[in-house]
Structure 1
Amino acid sequence: MIADQYYGQHSTSAAEAVHAFEQAVFAVAAHRPAAEPLNRALEADDTLVAGHALKGLGVALLGKAEDFAKARALLTPAQDALSRADGGTDYEQALVQALQLASCGRLKAAAARLEAQVSHNPRDFLCLKLANALRFMTGEAHHMRETSATALRSMASSDAGYGFALGMHAFGLEEMGSFAEAESIGLLAVTNQRSDIWGVHAVGHVLEMRGRAAEGARWIESSRQLWPHCNNFTFHMAWHLALFHLEAQDYDAVLDLYDREIRPVETDDFRDMANAVSMLWRLEQEGIDVGDRWRRLHEIAHRRRSDATYVFASLHYLLALLGSGDTAAARELVGNLRDRALTAGLDDQAEVAAAVGVELAAAILTLHSGATAPANLCELSLNLPKLGGSRAQRDVFMRTLLLMAANSGNPAAFDAVNKVRTAMKSEDRFARVTHKRLSETAA
């Protein structure tokens, strides 16, 4: 057995495989491409249990229907490797069992299995990172905060994963509304680990939520030296930078960032689509002509209209279809979400569709058609965290609910939604402009 520098215990005697695997773990932590070192690890030892499990979990986190199918296929070699290792170590068992759960759409249970391993071995960095990623997708920030806190209580500052763990904790704190502590811990994270783009990102979230737009733009710009090393997280960092320019009404800068750095390539990764779609939707809410940019997103959204695997993604596809004027496909997508909700109990996302996805999608269709806004706008706003993603990402839906309330001329509905929104972020220019619209509508 060999222990890696991130406190993973491997049932192998192949030091070369473990060394390559360590490089893959670093890549995952730093949001860099991990496929090459992971493949080298498996070439050095094709029975490396953690290598097979990480490969499968990485695919499951991509969140599309075919990705879960691929993850289920990758479960077989992981289980075979575990069997050849006479049951493997606790670490290997946790990873394989988490893959089994995640590949079936049980993301919460997969995260819980990894968190149990962190409770058993709090310095187990990879299980912490993967649990954090899964809880991000399920919108359970309290778990993100608590599990990282558990790990940090046992970690030493010299541990290879310590700085990255600080960055995760900062993000969990921010998502739970502990902004001052999140900023402090985030700054400590990037001081300890200069490659921690997630820690940089966490501080950026704090600045976004507190309305510190000019400072936020400078902060994100200061991290540019890390971006060329990242995977598609680079696009997301550019998205955050554009949010700060949007608040400053520098629309030319936003559109330039969109074309050059948010959507420089036409990928169908749901995270890349969320960046692009939500930015165009925000711009149009502010009366900005986005040209033919919706057309370039339409093909992907249309192709994905029947893929209700991850509700957060489906709702962004809905926005893209509406933005491009394809109401028929948008209605079809909402129907597919309704069908998904009927399977509640089979997996996590069916329950999300039933709890919030269908009603939110129907409400967005209502806004687009000009029909009367639903009466449950406040309830919808309270249920948004179930979608997953971050406060900043979900704000595209919060803004939309606020706009619905304003258009309805209902001050009580507007105040209720705005109260939920300002509990998560400082009142911004959009809230003030929308309140003015409410006054004009109600007059």
Structure 2
Amino acid sequence: MKRDGYDLVTSTDSSEAQRAFENAVLGLATHRPNTGLAVQATLAADSHHVAGHALKGFANLILARSELGATAASALNDARDALSVKAGGTTDERVLVTALDAAVEGGFSHAADILDDGFENRPTTFLPFKISQALRFMLGDAAGMLKASTRAVKDLDTGSRAAGFLLGCHAFSLEEHGRYSEALVAGQRAVALQPDDSWGLHAVSHVFEMCGDTGEGIDWLEGSRTAWSRCNNFSFHMAWHLGLLHLERGDDDRVLQIYDDEVRPQQTDDFRDMANAVSLLWRMEQSGVHVGDRWMDVADVAYRRRTDTTLIFAALHNLAAMVAVGEREGAAELVAQIDAKALGMDDQARIAAEIGVPMARVLAGLDAPADRRMIDRMVANLPKIGGSNAQRDFFVLALAKAVGAGGDDAAVSQIGRIRQQLKADDRLFKTIERTVGTRLPA
């Protein structure tokens, strides 16, 4: 039995496996591209490394691709077998496997609860903490994220390996609650402790964006480029933030350059990369920027994913891409798939029913909200889609555009007032307001 450098107690007797697994956890924390290789090295050194199998399972689920569900289930079986070989394993390992079981069944919220409760007395044990944060992020559960991160940073040992990473997560959770001053302090402290904490860097960039501090945001991202440019595809997302800041400043040519070179340098179908591309292209078009044929590759990916509703957040971005190029049949098929998803029983089925179905119909141009109460309900339910406030702002803007197209200037103003509770007024929303001849009061 060994306690690793991030406080997880495992049943491995292999020092090589422990070192490899610590590298995997560090890769997870820093969003480095070598994380998968480190997990492979862990399992090569100890084929019954329970936590290694569990991490593999969670990693495949978090990719939110329908075809990877079987891979995650296989990892769960391997983790269970490893527990048997290790005479039941450690308490830490059993918690991880129980949580993975819940997640494989579609219960991300339940899985996160299992992780948080299972490590209630050791909330700084980094792997279960980070996995729980990731699952709650995908569910838009900012309250759950903040509850866990607040517990983790209380009486934090700043000399521990995970200290900076824990603070970075806390900074992001604060930011998602609109507690921007606190988030800024926590994020900057996180990066001071751990300069490679890309999530902490990311949290601070969110603060600048939501507050409308474009110059400071650009300086922050450019000044930390050495750190985040070494990330895996998370670097594309950091570049997305940079693009948004330049778009707000009207630097159209620079935004197009960032899109081509840093946001969409590879034609991947990772849902996070797609969300970056779709939402930035949409914003550019609404801002009057000519994007040429840039929609075509994302629409092609979206069409291939038109039956995948593993994650409603991803499905809605795919839908928007197909709508952008006039792919009506593919869009109609995906809307029908989201309707069908809403009849299920797992977390994403509930999300589909509560917000996925009505938002899909808005994006597809099939319906606009019938009345103000429906608008209020949709905006209130948007966090359930998952992602961050900045990412979901795409849906807020699309909703405003949809009701504005129907000439409902009062509804656009209503959406704007709700939006201003978290985000400073910006050029794009003003453009949408002008299309219906309305303006929010100062």
- Pairwise TM-score range, normalised by the shorter structure: over 0.9
Pick which of 402-411 and 228-237 moved more.
402-411
Partner of 1:75 in structure 2?
A: 76
Partner of 1:21 in structure 2?
A: 21
Shift of 1:373: 5.5
Which structure 2 residues correspond to residues 22-421 of structure 1 after superposition, within 5 A?
22-33=22-33, 34-343=35-344, 345=345, 347-366=346-365, 374-375=370-371, 376-421=374-419
Does structure 2 retain, via aligned residues, the 8 Å contact 1:5–1:22? yes
Does structure 2 retain, via aligned residues, the 8 Å contact 1:111–1:131? yes
Assess, with a 3 A threshold, how the Cα gap between structure 1 residues 378 and 230 changes in structure 2: closer, same or farther: same
- Please identify runs of 4+ aligned residues in structure 1 that moved more than 6 A: none
For structure 2, the 5+ residue unaligned runs are none
Shift of 1:222: 1.1
CA–CA distance in structure 1, aligned partners of residues 196 and 6 of structure 2: 16
Does structure 2 retain, via aligned residues, the 8 Å contact 1:117–1:124? no
Instruction: Give 1:406's aligned amino acid.
Output: G
Shift of 1:416: 1.8
In structure 1, the residue corresponding to 2:42 is in which secondary structure?
helix
In structure 2, the residue corresponding to 1:29 is in which secondary structure?
helix
Pick which of 129-138 and 432-441 moved more.
432-441
In structure 2, the residue corresponding to 1:119 is in which secondary structure?
coil
Instruction: Give 2:399's aligned amino acid.
Output: L
CA–CA distance in structure 2, aligned partners of residues 227 and 68 of structure 1: 29
CA–CA distance in structure 1, aligned partners of residues 291 and 410 of structure 2: 33
Assess, with a 3 A threshold, how the Cα gap between structure 1 residues 266 and 276 changes in structure 2: closer, same or farther: same
Shift of 1:282: 0.8
Shift of 1:432: 2.1
CA–CA distance in structure 1, aligned partners of residues 56 and 15 of structure 2: 19
| CA deviation vs aligned residue, 1:108-162 (integer Å, no higher than 9, x gap) | 1111111112313222111111100111000001111110111112531111101
Instruction: Give 1:389's aligned amino acid.
Output: G
Does structure 2 retain, via aligned residues, the 8 Å contact 1:68–1:105? no
Partner of 1:7 in structure 2?
A: 7
Assess, with a 3 A threshold, how the Cα gap between structure 1 residues 355 and 373 changes in structure 2: closer, same or farther: closer
Instruction: Give 2:5's aligned amino acid.
Output: Q
Does structure 1 retain, via aligned residues, the 8 Å contact 2:58–2:72? yes
CA–CA distance in structure 2, aligned partners of residues 153 and 29 of structure 1: 20
Assess, with a 3 A threshold, how the Cα gap between structure 1 residues 407 and 84 changes in structure 2: closer, same or farther: same
Does structure 2 retain, via aligned residues, the 8 Å contact 1:334–1:362? yes
Shift of 1:372: 5.9
CA–CA distance in structure 2, aligned partners of residues 139 and 192 of structure 1: 27
Q: Percent sequence identity over matched residues? A: 44
CA–CA distance in structure 2, aligned partners of residues 433 and 338 of structure 1: 32
TM-score, structure 2 normalization = 0.96
Pick which of 375-384 and 192-201 moved more.
375-384
Shift of 1:436: 2.2
Partner of 1:438 in structure 2?
A: 436
Shift of 1:43: 1.2
Assess, with a 3 A threshold, how the Cα gap between structure 1 residues 134 and 440 changes in structure 2: closer, same or farther: closer
CA–CA distance in structure 2, aligned partners of residues 161 and 5 of structure 1: 9
Pick which of 311-320 and 65-74 moved more.
65-74
Shift of 1:417: 1.0
CA–CA distance in structure 1, aligned partners of residues 286 and 430 of structure 2: 13
Instruction: Give 1:220's aligned amino acid.
Output: L
Instruction: Give 1:178's aligned amino acid.
Output: R
Instruction: Give 2:406's aligned amino acid.
Output: S
Matched residues, number: 436
CA–CA distance in structure 2, aligned partners of residues 61 and 95 of structure 1: 15
CA–CA distance in structure 2, aligned partners of residues 123 and 296 of structure 1: 42
CA–CA distance in structure 1, aligned partners of residues 418 and 368 of structure 2: 21
Instruction: Give 1:414's aligned amino acid.
Output: V
CA–CA distance in structure 2, aligned partners of residues 365 and 22 of structure 1: 45
User: For the aligned residues, what is the CA RMSD?
Assistant: 1.4
| CA deviation vs aligned residue, 1:341-372 (integer Å, no higher than 9, x gap) | 111x2x10000000000101101222xx7x76
CA–CA distance in structure 2, aligned partners of residues 177 and 93 of structure 1: 36
Does structure 1 retain, via aligned residues, the 8 Å contact 2:139–2:385? yes
Does structure 1 retain, via aligned residues, the 8 Å contact 2:246–2:254? yes
Shift of 1:294: 1.0
In structure 2, the residue corresponding to 1:423 is in which secondary structure?
coil
| CA deviation vs aligned residue, 1:388-419 (integer Å, no higher than 9, x gap) | 00000001111111122322222331222112
